[in-house]
Amino acid sequence: MSTVSIIYRKDKLNKKGEAPIHFRIIKDRKITYISTGIMISEEYWDFENNKIKSKHPNSKRMKSFIDNKYVELQDEVFDKETSQKSLTSRQLRDKIYGMKPTDFFAFADSIVENYKTNKQFSTHDKNQSIIKKLKDYVDNRTLAFQDIDVEFLEKYEKHLKSDKMKNKINTIHKDFKFIRKVFNDAFHKELIDYHVNPFHKYKLKSEKTQRCFLTEEELKNFGKVPTTPGTKVQLHQDMFIFASYTGGLRVSDMLLLQWKHFDGANINFTIAKTGSQLSVKVPTKGLEILKNTSLRTRLQMLLFFPCCCLMSN
């Protein structure tokens, strides 16, 4: 069983001769301290009874505050032990004092930066744009998670739909989907409580769209567009045609392709977006592109050094 006590941290004296009053939790011989936020001089502490002396000018108010928090802490510890659940000292502190507001943009920026670290450049740029749009909306003011409630989201949605922004429903859906991810990640990292997430009540909206596909004739005409040999434009033209004839490969997957992924008939690789394995049979037209002597050198550069090739010129 855990024991909870109130102690005067004489080992934490500051230059003014004041020390903090902490709650001490001992469980399995491990000690955890939770600050009450109160600091007083040693002359005002009754070491025998572990309480503030009555001669302190604010003794009644401080004693009442400490006693109430002490009872709450004991109840929380007892509740978790009887239900066989464990709480960290940070979780206990948040239960007693409430969770401090957490900077939404700071956490969102760390998620966005992580995409760049993992070389997910397209995802990084897309979500960085989403966060910038939100920063512009609040004039780059600090925004806590607790500031973003259902009312805030409704107003922001209205702003995005305004004549000034002209964002479509599915664009707003994409923006809000990432904002929701930031909330979910923050909850999993115990930075916010469950009830702080407004997306438990606010539902994302989207609409069905009709996808258009190129006809065989349109794709042939695209391939006939004259380009200057050796330029990025020609390389992109070759990439698009090759991707189209191999099942519509994503750009992110095209950039990671290497000759080792091609076994002479199929392309076998890991999808960058989902991490799943895929094997695509290269059709006759795709094989013709790979066998074309005039294209092979450029495609070989692409397949061996994709990023460098696209970033050059």
The domain tally of the chain equals 3
Contact present, 177 and 169 (Cβ < 8 Å) = no
Question: What is the residue range of 176's domain?
Answer: 104-200
pLDDT tens-place string over residues 234-292? 878 888 888 888 888 887 788 788 878 888 888 898 887 777 888 989 888 878 777 76
Taking residues 208-237, report their average pLDDT.
Answer: 85
Same domain for 220 and 191: no
The dihedrals phi and psi of 27, each to the nearest 5 degrees, come to -140, 130
Residue 208 lies inside a defined structural domain of this protein:
no
Residue 209 lies inside a defined structural domain of this protein:
no
The dihedrals phi and psi of 301, each to the nearest 5 degrees, come to -60, -45
Domain boundary among 176, 200, 224: 200
Domain boundary among 45, 70, 97: 97
pLDDT band at 96; cut points 50, 70, 90: low
pLDDT tens-place string over residues 40-81? 999 999 999 999 999 999 999 999 999 998 998 888 888 777
The pLDDT, as a whole number, for residue 313 is 42
The pLDDT, as a whole number, for residue 199 is 97
Residue 142 lies inside a defined structural domain of this protein:
yes
Same domain for 186 and 233: no
Same domain for 84 and 145: no
**DSSP one-letter code for 280:** E
Cα angle 245-249-253, degrees, rounded to a multiple of 5? 140
pTM for this entry: 0.58
What does 156-225 look like in DSSP terms, one character per residue? HHHHHHSTTT---HHHHHHHHHHHHHHHHHHHHTTSS-GGG-GGGTPPP-----PPP---HHHHHHHHTS
pLDDT tens-place string over residues 175-198? 999 999 999 999 888 788 788 999
The pLDDT, as a whole number, for residue 260 is 84
Residue 115 lies inside a defined structural domain of this protein:
yes
pLDDT band at 95; cut points 50, 70, 90: low
Same domain for 300 and 230: yes
